[in-house]
Amino acid sequence: MPEPSAITRAVLAALILAGSVGAAFGDDAPVDLHPAKPAKTAPPKPPAKPTTAPSATDPAQPISAEEAVQRANAYLDSTLSMTADFVQIGPDGKRSEGKLYVQRPGRMLFRYAPPDRTEVVADGRSVAVRDQKMSTQDLYFIGQTPLKFLLADHIDIAKDTKVLQVSNVPGAVSIVIEDKATFGGSATITLLFDPDTFALKQWTVLDAQGLQTVVTLFNVDATATPDPSLFKIDEQQRMLNSNVR
């Protein structure tokens, strides 16, 4: 398998998490295009005390770390297929947009809008990064990529990764996790969830090389079933790549 470039790392970081998301949220979802790196971010200040007694279901109230992880698992595990528009901010600050198609377990396609000529597809076994302009395709094991566990049949954040921090931030619940089984070392991932519905709003991946990628989804359709042909990887190219180390 080839050593991924900085651009490819950003693409793969964006790729794997999206296979878990499905509930829709509107175009008013917050997008912090330059979030602080999770490892260096101080814990947020607790929210101000309400002037009136909150109800038992008030989403603005802090929840325990255990409950947050349970609700995150339930949300991430609930959707098997989806389509969505995405915005990605790479390590160099470059903004990319495109379309995402997901069919869990294991299958996903990131199709970037022009002027990008990149596609990233996962077929359940491998992840292929296709450069349409250069007519090339690089393959990676799904196990090499950050958050590959989120393409599984069942998702358990606490079991499959190390939960570093759970906190209530303005307008969201933040869960920071560490995945040590990625290429080049461990990756730190910050997930932002809606405090009421626990829909995933945004994620930030900080890889072992210190490269940070931010991804936000829009116009999510959790009812559509993508065409299975979207997730095909060229078998001839797969065999050629199988000899690369």
**Poorest-pLDDT segment among 64-78, 117-131, 181-195, 220-234:** 181-195
State residue 224's pLDDT score.
85
Question: Tokens in use for 5?
Answer: 């470039």
Question: Tokens in use for 13?
Answer: 């970081």
Question: Tokens in use for 37?
Answer: 């790196």
**pLDDT higher than threshold 60 for residue 71:** yes
Question: Tokens in use for 26?
Answer: 């509107």
Bridge-based pairing of strands 126-131 and 162-169 is unpaired
Question: Which contiguous run of DSSP H or E holds residue 159?
Answer: helix 157-160
Domains (ranges, CATH) in the chain?
A: 6-39+59-240 (2.50.20.10)
How many residues in the chain? 245
Average pLDDT in the chain? 73
Q: What is the pLDDT of residues 153-165, one digit of tens each?
A: 777 888 878 899 9
Q: What is the pLDDT of residues 9-53, one digit of tens each?
A: 555 655 544 433 333 233 333 333 333 444 444 444 554 444 434
Q: What is the pLDDT of residues 161-220, one digit of tens each?
A: 889 999 999 889 999 998 776 656 688 999 989 899 888 888 898 988 889 999 888 887
